């Protein structure tokens, strides 16, 4: 289902490390006629905001959040700014924008922004989470990934990875950076900002609507084949971010899966940077796409149908310091094909269907 059809305004988050080209990409996006109906929020760390002066093309639709980093101090301000934008839109003071882009500071953790949208009782009826777009600098990207945990987290939670400044890079780092990003985030498409064919609208498109991207699978899910990770490479990383993908040949029991994932997120939510999957549920014809960031699980999407004869469930987890193999074993143990009916169950005082 497209964002437009759902009636909710998608909020896209543009993030990336300091100096990785967020504002440049934003300027480019806003110059594109296809993005004319976009409202922008810019968040800056520090007393004096500069970035909003660099982006001149949007006048009344731009709001600057001044008081600090979006991930810790301005959640209330973010909610207020979004409500004000929506209020002005409804009163006709602003053109009826159809999407919002938030440019976050280079040090922000994207998760609190998403949770603000979901948790606020007003916002969640008008807005929905769009894509997290992360810019990575081709020149300094690898070094930042080695040094800063924020950089790793931004790459890990991204829906779209945009490599910038490839024209400045010598070229030798390209494949290394790509494989590093794949390790952190196996299923987000990696786009190159300097690519003349780059379709900017694909940055904000709902996942199921994106087409003809190289890495997109026919199912609309980005990870057709489980990605095998090179452990020797992973061992050298300072940050313990890793990913695991697995396929499940049998139908999955939704109730057991829900209980298991809820329990897992309750205990390890901050260390599960991303969960994404397409599930073949027992008793249902249509596949369900599950999508979560840390403690937050988006409403599962019922896809219209399986695009191919392959009805295998697939799950991708991006983990910070958790053992992927153990997680897979846990999944198998807690969500068997059919929970066995055991005699002891009868002793539970279940309120039976009447």
- Which residues contact other proteins by CB under 8 A? 253-256, 258-260, 262-264, 266-268, 281, 283-284, 286, 288, 297-300, 302, 322-323, 326-327, 329-330, 332-334, 336, 339-340, 342, 344-345, 348-354
From CA 12, how far away is CA 167, in angstroms rounded?
A: 26
Rounded least distance, CB 291 to other proteins, Å? 10
Assess contact for 64 and 58: CB atoms under 8 A: no
> Among residues 93 and 337, whose Cβ is nearest to other proteins?
337
> Among residues 5 and 350, whose Cβ is nearest to other proteins?
350
Long-range contacts: 84-88, Cβ < 8 Å, 24+?
85/39, 85/41, 85/61, 86/9, 86/126, 86/127
> Among residues 143 and 302, whose Cβ is nearest to other proteins?
302
Rounded least distance, CB 332 to other proteins, Å? 8
Rounded least distance, CB 256 to other proteins, Å? 5
Long-range contacts: 229-236, Cβ < 8 Å, 24+?
229/183, 229/186, 230/183, 233/179, 233/183, 234/183
Rounded least distance, CB 129 to other proteins, Å? 13
In Å, the largest CA–CA distance within the chain is 71
Rounded least distance, CB 309 to other proteins, Å? 22
Task: Supply angle C-alpha 67, 72, 78, rounded to 5.
Answer: 60
Rounded least distance, CB 298 to other proteins, Å? 7
> Among residues 33 and 283, whose Cβ is nearest to other proteins?
283
SS (H, E, C) 21-56: CHHHHHHHHHHCHHHCCEEEEEECCCCCCCHHHHCC
> Among residues 138 and 289, whose Cβ is nearest to other proteins?
289
300-339 CB burial, b ≥16 within 10 A, e <16: bbebeebeeeeebbbbbbbbbebebeebbeebeebbeeee
Rounded least distance, CB 253 to other proteins, Å? 7
> Among residues 138 and 265, whose Cβ is nearest to other proteins?
265
> Among residues 168 and 259, whose Cβ is nearest to other proteins?
259
């Amino acid at each position: 289902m497209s964002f437009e059809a759902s009636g909710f305004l998608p909020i896209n988050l543009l993030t990336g490390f300091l100096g990785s080209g967020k504002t440049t990409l934003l300027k480019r996006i806003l110059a594109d006629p296809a993005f004319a109906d976009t409202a922008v929020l810019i968040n800056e760390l520090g007393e004096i905001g500069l970035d909003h002066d660099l982006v001149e093309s949007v006048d009344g639709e731009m709001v600057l959040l001044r008081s600090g980093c979006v991930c810790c101090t301005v959640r209330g301000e973010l909610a207020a700014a979004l409500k004000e934008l929506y209020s002005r839109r409804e009163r006709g003071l602003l053109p009826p924008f159809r999407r919002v882009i938030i440019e976050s500071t280079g040090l922000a953790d994207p998760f609190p922004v998403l949770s603000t949208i979901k948790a606020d009782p007003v916002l969640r009826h008008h807005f929905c989470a769009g894509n997290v777009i992360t810019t990575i600098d081709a020149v300094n990207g690898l070094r930042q990934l080695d040094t800063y945990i924020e950089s790793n987290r931004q790459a890990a939670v991204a829906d779209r990875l945009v490599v910038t400044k490839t024209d400045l890079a010598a070229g030798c780092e390209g494949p290394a950076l790509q494989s590093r990003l794949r390790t952190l985030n196996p299923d987000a498409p990696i786009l190159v900002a300097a690519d003349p064919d780059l379709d900017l609208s694909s940055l904000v498109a709902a996942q199921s609507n994106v087409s003809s991207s190289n890495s997109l699978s026919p199912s609309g899910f980005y990870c057709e084949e489980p990605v095998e990770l090179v452990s020797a490479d992973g061992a050298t990383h300072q940050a313990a971010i890793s990913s695991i993908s697995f396929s499940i040949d049998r139908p999955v029991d939704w109730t057991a899966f829900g209980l298991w994932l809820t329990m897992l997120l309750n205990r390890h939510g901050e260390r599960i940077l991303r969960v994404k999957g397409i599930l073949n549920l027992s008793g249902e014809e249509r596949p369900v796409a599950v999508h979560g960031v840390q403690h937050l699980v988006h409403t599962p999407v019922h896809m219209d149908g399986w695009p191919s004869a392959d009805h295998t469930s697939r799950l991708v987890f991006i983990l910070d310091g958790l053992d992927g193999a153990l997680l897979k074993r846990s999944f198998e143990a807690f969500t068997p094909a059919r929970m066995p009916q055991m005699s002891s169950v009868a002793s539970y005082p279940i309120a039976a269907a009447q």
